[in-house]
A and B are shown apart, each in its own frame.
Chain A
Amino acid sequence: MWKQIVTETNRQWATLGKYHTRLWPFAPAATFTFAQQPTARKLTSTSAAKPTPPKHDWNRAVSEAERIVGYPTSFLSLRWLLSDEIANVALHLRKLVGSNHPLLKTAKHLLYNGKNTMQAWGLIVLLISKAAGHASSVPDMEQDKSAGVLHSQRALAEVTEMIRISHLVHNSIVNLQPTSEAGKDTASYEDMAFGNKIGLLTGDYLLGHSSAELANLRNQEVVELISSAVRDFSESQFIGDRDEQNNPLPTKPGSEPPETNGTATTESIDFDVNDVMIPMNVLKAMGNPEKEWECRNILNAGSLLGKACQGALKLAGQDEDMQRQAYLFGKHLSLAWQACLDAEPFQITTLPLDTTFSLVSAPVLYHLEYDPSLYDEIEKGKVSVEKIDYVKIHKAILGGPGLEKTKELQRKHTTAAIGVLEKFPATDARTALENIILAMQDL
């Protein structure tokens, strides 16, 4: 019964590295890829954006990029994997095997599938760092000459990954309130409570260590920026209607926007350039499919990637404008990425058994605008999204404009990301980033 609870999390995992088979943390730096299975599926509508080479292979794009910045990221360091606490977690996780705690699934995806975006996140921070270069005033001691990035930037990439994992782990906590289904299930209660404990502490461990790493960068503006990305992650879990397990539900079409908190928020759907403390104006966007989707996903992903890219350039002493461009790049890239993920379940004509998708993914939101009557089915998920007939929704969306619009959305953000890249000098790192973006379009 917990299968669906992790739906949202899984969406983020079942990613571009679809055919990516390497065992993630144990792959030595030099041998990035194994069996490069051909990309089985080709999209119909992606030919316009990229004329040259006919097929962009994701695995190749990523492994070439990794070579450019040296070993993948320092996050893979044994120091982290062998720490007492993580060893402890592994020990405790073993006790959970057999239970249905979503944490297991998160851990599995993290460690064994290799189907995760995690590594790519740090990679992108490193690539943008290299693409931008650094001010000449940075002392030699702080540079990783062979890779062309600063040690501090590498640390920031590591922090980015840690924060992202910590968010995913915290998100796999089960709501055990006595009123909820899970809270009433006495048979599994003990397991769930224990899983929550481990998940919570693991997330906190990662968060605590990222603060420490961040502090050691000795750059308070970066600390401020990345802390605000943690804030955005937390905020993202409060937006809109939620079921018992906090899975997001779309806003009812035509409903009035909820009351605001009365605090200062930004004007547009993005963050205030001058004050990271000011939250994004989410409420204004609710109900408009594209804006609502953008809001949710900036908070849930774009914020961290964008701010990490921005921070990386800050560390290199780049000027404000370049920093801003880096932020925009990270934001658009993660949005394009998310649109790509959102489209995936709708590439096939029949939904496989037991497969679900996020109810706030772009195709669903677009379809609700096109045909508000679909909300009647979604409303059945008010208590638990498991009650919803996903096949029915899947079918309805395939009959509407949702998928096509999602593709358009992906193109929009891809174009924006590429556009930003053009402001960076032509380097191998920039080419690598372009290749990753193009490969993403092919998935």
Chain B
Amino acid sequence: MACLSTSGRKGLNVVVGTRNHQTQKHLCKLFWQQKISRSFCSNAAIAAALLCKNNANSMSSLLPQRNFHGVGILLQRNAAITTGQDYFANMHTNTACNSSSSGPTSTTTTSSPNVNNKSSNSTIITRNCRQYSSVHTQQPAGPVREIQIDPYIILEDDLKYFYDDVRDLLRQGTSQTELDKIASYYFDGQGKALRPMVTMLMARAINYHLNKESSNLVNKQRFISLFSEMVHSASLVHDDVIDQSDIRRGKPSVNALWNHKKVTMAGDYVLSIASIMIARLKSDDVTIILSQILTDLVQGEFMQLGSKETENERFAHYLTKTYRKTASLIANALKATAVIADADENIAELAFQYGRNVGLAFQLVDDMLDFVSTAETMGKPTAADLKLGLATAPVLFACEKYPELNPMIMRRFSEPGDVERAFELVHKSHGLEQTRFLAKKHCIEAIRLAQELTESPYQKGLQVVADLVINRMK
């Protein structure tokens, strides 16, 4: 366990980057050929058994982990081993990673593995792991302060090879090297992987809640999380062509490097591969739910084009647009994980609402950071929204105090000096605080929803994510 929690924490990125392609597998095969994965597991079990001999406490430290899977605690030992097998397999690869990256894994913060005490799970995670988190935060605040869970760590198994899997999928779909290059450009492992992370957290929290443990189910849910990131990335690629920005995530954006026609096609390509992947889950409802994301995304973009709405409806317009552009993706992906687990309507709705609230809060904070953050931390220029002519929440709040902003909003900050003046007025007003307050309200609602699920590390993780979203710096 100790090795599990510390190994990958050079950050997701490092592990992803150094993945040995030995385990590179045809994803399609993985989709359906359970036989293969089973035999893989049993091989891994043997390997793991060998490892156990050298690692005296590995077996005992493995046991509390079963809780993560929602396996009844007093199950027979045999059953414990079967469910633990994939962890053995992962340990195997982890130790390989460790030996290559740094010295011995010394941090053993695992409390004594008290199998019968659920709450001990929370202490498994090291206290200082937060500083390694991919999402940089300020001091944790809010109601979950005492729980030190890093969602990226408890989801390490799901997220470790995440970007590799996406890149494998994209490589399989085409014979054209250039198309592959453009399509996988943003899957370099440098992103926050927020969407897949939340998706998997919800998936596992729901599985725990429903007491379902099948790895087949988790696998399917993982494909939904792949879908969420792929659609997000495809929309980034198309956004780049639309916005003509030169930099994204601290590197040249796709449209600066490649022919815009090809970039557009690459966006379509990512989408088509993602659709094929989802179709292979063979769930009509999941496909329908996820296709809703696409229509919402485009409608959101169209809403962003127009600014004809009056002052009164402006805020509603902004919120609807934010839902469609950002929150819908998270909300529907989360809902899909519930539906594929055969959860009832209430749980699916809970997942949806949690995602909607987190998504809205995420975008509100994003819009706020656009005014306060520096270009270096964001990886893109600041006040970008204003320069694009967009009036986001801080501006809309500010214009209550400074009505002179209204004409500027209407002309989309097109006159010289508009951007600077608006930027200044936003800072003079309480626009930023009010935006944060609104985001906070959505986070509190999200946390409340998460608490309705059965308590589990993942359920705690969902609460932590809401906290991360509000406190993030980039």
- Once bound together, how far apart are the Cα atoms of A135 and B131, in whole Å? 61
Contact in complex: B179, A234 (CB < 8 Å):
yes
Tell whether A338 is near chain B: CB-to-CB under 8 Å.
Answer: no
Question: Which B residues lie within 8 Å of A84 (CB)?
Answer: 302
Contact in complex: A263, B301 (CB < 8 Å):
no
With A234-B269, A237-B261 known, 14 other A-B pairs at CB within 8 A are A85-B298, A174-B261, A175-B261, A177-B258, A200-B242, A203-B264, A223-B275, A233-B268, A238-B174, A246-B259, A261-B171, A261-B175, A261-B176, A261-B177
Contact in complex: A224, B176 (CB < 8 Å):
no
**Which 3 residue pairs across A and B have the least CB separation, nearest first?**
A227-B275, A208-B294, A224-B279
Scan residues 233-283 of chain B and give those whose CB is less than 8 A from a CB of chain A: 238, 241-242, 244, 255-256, 258-262, 264-266, 268-269, 271-273, 275-276, 278-283
Tell whether B415 is near chain A: CB-to-CB under 8 Å.
Answer: no
**Pick the contact of A238 from B172, B179, B272, B279 — CB < 8 Å?**
B179
Contact in complex: B175, A260 (CB < 8 Å):
yes
- Report the nearest B residue to A282, measured CB to CB: B175
Known: A177-B255, A280-B175. A275 touches B261 (CB 8 A): no
Tell whether A47 is near chain B: CB-to-CB under 8 Å.
Answer: no
The total number of A-B Cβ pairs within 8 Å is 179
Number of A residues, CB within 8 Å of B:
65
Tell whether B295 is near chain A: CB-to-CB under 8 Å.
Answer: yes
Q: List 19 A-B contacts (CB under 8 A).
A: A170-B265, A173-B241, A175-B260, A177-B258, A205-B302, A211-B291, A218-B284, A223-B275, A230-B269, A230-B275, A234-B268, A237-B262, A238-B265, A242-B259, A246-B262, A260-B175, A263-B175, A277-B28, A279-B175
Tell whether A55 is near chain B: CB-to-CB under 8 Å.
Answer: no
Contact in complex: B271, A88 (CB < 8 Å):
no
Contact in complex: A235, B175 (CB < 8 Å):
yes
- Report the nearest A residue to B261, measured CB to CB: A246
A residues contacting B by CB (< 8 A) are 84-85, 88, 92, 167, 170-171, 173-178, 193, 196-197, 200-201, 203-205, 207-209, 211-212, 214-216, 218-221, 223-224, 227-228, 230-231, 233-235, 237-239, 242, 244-246, 258-261, 263-265, 275-283
Question: Which A residues lie within 8 Å of B50 (CB)?
Answer: none
Question: Which B residues lie within 8 Å of A219 (CB)?
Answer: 284
Question: Which B residues lie within 8 Å of A261 (CB)?
Answer: 171, 174-177, 180
Question: Which B residues lie within 8 Å of A258 (CB)?
Answer: 177
Contact in complex: B279, A92 (CB < 8 Å):
no
- Report the nearest A residue to B178, measured CB to CB: A238
Number of B residues, CB within 8 Å of A:
53
Question: Which A residues lie within 8 Å of B177 (CB)?
Answer: 258-261
- Once bound together, how far apart are the Cα atoms of A88 and B301, in whole Å? 12
Contact in complex: B173, A177 (CB < 8 Å):
no
Question: DSSP class of B's interface residues: helix, strand, loop or mixed?
Answer: helix
Contact in complex: A201, B302 (CB < 8 Å):
yes
- Once bound together, how far apart are the Cα atoms of A244 and B297, in whole Å? 30
**Pick the contact of B261 from A173, A205, A283 — CB < 8 Å?**
A173
- Once bound together, how far apart are the Cα atoms of A174 and B264, in whole Å? 10
Contact in complex: B295, A212 (CB < 8 Å):
yes
Question: Which A residues lie within 8 Å of B306 (CB)?
Answer: 88
- Once bound together, how far apart are the Cα atoms of A392 and B253, in whole Å? 41
Shortest CB-to-CB span from A324 to chain B, Å, is 19
Contact in complex: B276, A174 (CB < 8 Å):
no
Known: A211-B291, A278-B172. A201 touches B242 (CB 8 A): yes
